[in-house]
Structure 1
Amino acid sequence: MSLTEIFLVAMLLIFALPYAVWRLGRTERWAPLVVVQIVTGILLGPGVLGAVAPAAYAFVFPPGVIQALNGIAWWAVMLFVWIAGIELDLGQAWRHRRESGITAGLALGAPLLLGAAAGGLLLAFPGWIGPLARPWQFVLGIGMACAVTALPILILFMEKLALLRRPIGQRILRYASLDDLAIWGVLALILMDWARIGRQLAFLVTFALATLALRALMRRVPEADRWPLGLVWLAACALGADWCGLHFMVGAFLAGAVMDGHWFDRERMDLLRHHVLLVVMPVFFLSTGLRTTWEMGGPAVFVAAAGLLAASVAGKLLGVAAAGRVLGWPRGEAGLIGWLLQTKALIMIIFANVLLDKQVITSASFTALLLMAVASTMLTVPMVTPRLARLPGVADRAG
């Protein structure tokens, strides 16, 4: 078969297998399609398919096909992160700054501390820290991975639970928006390359000046021009960030974060996010699965993933519970919010991909983080649904 035909075989597997499992298995309540796609990517990777059927894996995923899939995956994830940046609404967070600051700070800080402690334990064993990482980078990276909330997937979940446009949904978006901003700030700190500090400062200064010009231009052009201009801006920022050593995904997020959501029609932005998830993000999930490894031994990776999951879940619930006590929330509300903020898939996976690219973590650490993200996300809806039923008035409480 030609390389093109093999590429199409890979694409057929990427789209057909997750859909069949999701639809025939009726997994929507505990594993939405996006989670099934991530798990399918892991199963098609070298750690599972490559171990069980190495000849089939080598046939479907030769180097040329992997290179083509990686190119699609890079652009897909840049689009997704750009949209996430645009959807940040820091104005709402500022208007409710006391409540938002306390909740977001504790919801991020508690799992960050517990995750960092777990990362410190992993340092005691070989094979987890990347070859180019300093211990503080590894510990902070693991801690932040445990603290992440995936804003785009949180939006999808709240849409399914009919919470997104209700008062509690808007509150949770404020908390997640502040945490999302902190996540990328910490990632930039971890990736700060003192050998290339001149390049990074040059990029940041140029980015700041270009942002002023972009915002002035966007206010003057019609919406039909803002979409293509936004994509040009995305590619330029991603290129600049990667050139200076910060990674293209940091540039993609910055490109979106300095743009105003009201510049774009909300329904069209929702459709774009939906279509990116439907059309190209499954390729990113597959490329992520191709990076998983069990070379340290399955039990060690699963034990590490379980420990990271415990730190992540306990930290998030403890942090939100502390915020609820400070702010005087009714009984049960903190638990509901804490479980919704557990949603990690995508943003955590993107975060871990960057750490792996920069050799802050190893493939074994990446695999443990990936398993933790999938498990945490799968817990969200089953844990939230009964709590919503027991608290019928909570969805309309404005905080």
Structure 2
Amino acid sequence: MHAVTTMEVFLIAMAIIFCVPYLIWRVGRTEYFAPLVVVQIITGILLGPGILGAAFPAYYSFVFTGPVVQILNGLGAWAVMLFVLIAGIELDLSKAWANRRESGITAGLALGVPLVFGALAALGMLRFPGWMGLEGQPWQFVVGVGMACAVTALPILILLMEKLEILRQPIGQRILRYASLDDIAIWGVLALVLLDWERIGRQVGFLLAFGVACVLFRKLMRALPERDRWYVMLIWLAVCAFGADWSGLHFMVGAFLAGVVIDADWFDQGDMDRLRHNVLLVMMPVFFLSTGLRTQWDVGGVTVFAAALVLLVASVAGKLAGVHLAGRILRWRPGEASLIGWLLQTKALIMIIFANILLDKAIISSATFTALLLMAVMSTMLTIPVVTPKLLRLDQVRRSDS
């Protein structure tokens, strides 16, 4: 009898990864409240060890063997590095600088208030065992969970605003400015949380070497034709990710830094949009599945869901409170603060990447990771149904004013 090879099992896993979420999304017509990327995340959780793996252990042990999971993790890591690189490239801080007072106040409050709310929730979680990782310090756990509640998923935000047809409108561009500044702060706080005093020499050395390499890299890229820039960009990504991981930060921090120093106008915008779309289509589902395989329910399913709800309330309430406060200071029109706040509370991809890093470094436990993942899914699913009627009301107000 033919023995099933690792490659054959891997291909079975890949068929499941692409088939199941697509069928749920298409047959269930979930686009209004759950875009395909959200369905892929949910499917990853369902296929993981805590749900279907627990109900059908034979299926799980057959499909997700050690070698197969190792391959999936490698593909998922490269996919998300590409995605973070693109996010770094697309950051446009010039517009934020041109509107620095408004952008600074809004981005600061939109990040700071939910961070405080999330940190308070994390302090409550510390009173119970099973939430903090084995290598984490209490301050790292509190700041990490707090920042997870404050994160805005810039790539998903762009997709949702495209769907709402406001991305190129003035309010859409304002929201992008706020989210871009928050994106910078998120990675800065992550670098602080991951600071390893035992490897501080390596980390300082990496940053110094990175600064020198940036000057040389930018000169090289300007001298190259565009067709060569794509290849050099990928080499640059791998080198920066390796250096960051070797220094004790994380390869995702390196991927983001690699993208930030790349100018978007070095590439055709249509080609960059297609690259982002193809990474989402072809590779990111593998990351979502490998993320779902990391979920655990050791402290109890009800307890994990309760923690996710607490974190969701802290995240949404904190984001709305911060943005409403900014709106009062800056005297926005009625309805704008609520619309902007709900869009900025979108989580999904970036928060999942952030939580994966905290789990990799054992700052949070698998139970906390699962709660954060559930929070991110619920946050993103709330966005379109809540924002759509608010956007209609805001349009009506604008027409009546004009």
Q: TM-score with structure 1 length normalisation?
A: 0.98
Unaligned runs of 5+ in 1: none
Match 1:244 to one of 229, 244, 247:
247
Residue in 2 aligned with 1:27? Answer: 30
Percent identity between matched residues is 70
Corresponding residue for residue 180 of structure 1 = 183
Q: Which residue of 1 aligns with 2:271?
A: 268
Taking a change above 3 Å as real, the CA distance of residues 166 and 394 of structure 1, as seen in their structure-2 partners, is: farther
Task: Please give the per-residue CA displacement for 1:207-254, whole angstroms capped at 9, x wherever unaligned.
Answer: 000001111111221211111111110000000000000010000000
Tell me what 2:8 maps to: 5
Indicate which of 70, 73, 81 corresponds to 2:73.
70
1:126 aligns with 2:135: no
Alignment of 1:48-127 (within 5 A): 48-127=51-130
Distance 2:262 2:7 in 1: 38
Whether contact under 8 Å (1:163, 1:395) holds in the other structure is: no
Q: Deviations over 1:297-341 (max 9, x none)?
A: 011101110000000000000000000000000111000000111
Runs (4+) of structure 1 exceeding 4 A deviation are 393-396
Aligned length: 396
- Counterpart of 1:156? 159
User: How far apart are the structure 2 equivalents of 1:261 and 1:334?
Assistant: 30
Please, what TM-score do these two structures have when normalized by structure 2? 0.97
Instruction: Give 1:205's match in structure 2, choosing from 192, 208, 216.
Output: 208
1:43 — aligned with what?
46
Tell me the distance in 2 between the aligned counterparts of 1:359 and 1:235. 24
Distance of 2:358 and 2:250 partners within structure 1:
10
3-state DSSP of counterpart to 2:133:
coil
Aligned with 1:170 (options 173, 193, 208): 173
State yes or no: 1:277 paired with 2:280. yes
**In the aligned structure 1, how far is the partner of 2:397 from the partner of 2:313?**
27
Q: Is the 8 A contact 1:73 1:283 kept in 2?
A: yes
Among candidates 288, 293, 318, match of residue 290 of structure 1: 293
- How far apart are the structure 1 equivalents of 2:397 and 2:108? 22
Q: Partner of 1:391: helix, strand, or coil?
A: helix
Deviations, residues 84-130 of structure 1 (Å, cap 9, x unaligned)? 00011011110100010000000000100000000011111111011
Listed as ranges, the gaps of 5+ residues in structure 2 are none
CA distance in 2, matches of 1:327, 1:228: 45
Output the CA distance in 2 between the equivalents of 1:123 and 1:64: 35
Partner Cα separation in structure 2 for residue 89 and residue 132 of structure 1: 36
Separation in structure 2 between the aligned mates of residue 321 and residue 220 of structure 1, nearest angstrom = 47
Deviations 1:326-369 (A, max 9, x none): 00001110000001111110100000000000000000000000
Deviation (angstroms), 1:180? 0.4
Q: SS in structure 2 opposite 1:286?
A: helix
How far apart are residue 394 of structure 1 and its match?
7.6
